């Protein structure tokens, strides 16, 4: 809270990729707690995504879940455009979505490697590239990585 009762992110709009669970959900909720309206992407469970959105709206903030497979460049760009259209701005992008190829290295397939690279390397770049079209001065991009990925 600031001295006038406003929170640090009042009036800001954030997009958290992979925000339906784990670290992404925690980041989305913290951004809302700090005053931001928050959109999040999810790939699998609409139910989990809607649970996070319900918690965001319970804090008095606007929340929205967008299904987007981060391995799909069209889905990435479409998600950013949809968020910017719905909220009319974008101030914060948190690149959090990630996948890993778990198992013995000799069992990892080329398709699994391609998906890891698409989600963990290409997607954050494409999300940032798309977000910059809508970000206002002072916007922020935060990218989260994992040793598993």
In the prediction, which pLDDT does 7 show? 77
In the prediction, which pLDDT does 75 show? 97
Does any domain span residue 30?
Answer: yes
pTM of the predicted model as reported, rounded to 2 decimal places: 0.91
**Those residues with Cβ within 8 angstroms of residue 107's Cβ, 6 or more apart along the chain or in another chain:** none
- With 0-12 / 13-18 / 19 or more C-beta atoms within 10 angstroms meaning exposed / middle / buried, residue 79 is buried
Cα–Cα distance between 145 and 116 in angstroms, integer?
Answer: 12
Does any domain span residue 148?
Answer: no
| Averages of pLDDT over each 10 residues, the chain, 149 residues | 67 96 96 97 95 98 97 97 97 95 92 95 97 93 79
Does any domain span residue 3?
Answer: no
CATH number reported for the structural domain that contains residue 124 in this entry: 3.40.50.720
Cα–Cα distance between 120 and 5 in angstroms, integer?
Answer: 38
Helix 73-87 to helix 123-131 angle (10° resolution) is 30
Does any domain span residue 149?
Answer: no
Does any domain span residue 76?
Answer: yes
Q: How many domains does the chain have?
A: 1
Which domain range does residue 132 map to? 13-143
Residue 136 near residue 87, CB atoms below 8 Å = no
In the prediction, which pLDDT does 3 show? 46
3 state SS of 16: strand
In the prediction, which pLDDT does 2 show? 47
Cα–Cα distance between 143 and 111 in angstroms, integer?
Answer: 24
In the prediction, which pLDDT does 14 show? 98
Does any domain span residue 74?
Answer: yes
């Amino acid at each position: 809270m600031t001295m006038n009762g406003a929170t640090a992110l009042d009036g800001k709009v954030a997009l958290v990729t992979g925000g339906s669970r784990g670290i992404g959900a925690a980041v989305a909720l913290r951004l809302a707690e700090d005053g931001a309206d928050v959109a999040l992407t999810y790939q699998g469970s609409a139910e989990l995504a809607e649970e996070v959105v319900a918690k965001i709206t319970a804090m008095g903030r606007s929340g929205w879940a967008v299904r987007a497979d981060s391995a799909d460049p069209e889905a990435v760009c479409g998600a950013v455009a949809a968020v910017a259209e719905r909220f009319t701005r974008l101030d914060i992008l948190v690149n959090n979505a990630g996948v890993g190829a778990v198992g013995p290295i000799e069992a990892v397939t080329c398709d699994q490697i391609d998906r890891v690279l698409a989600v963990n390397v290409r997607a954050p770049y494409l999300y940032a590239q798309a977000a910059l079209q809508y970000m206002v001065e002072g916007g922020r991009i935060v990218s989260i990585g994992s040793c598993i990925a």
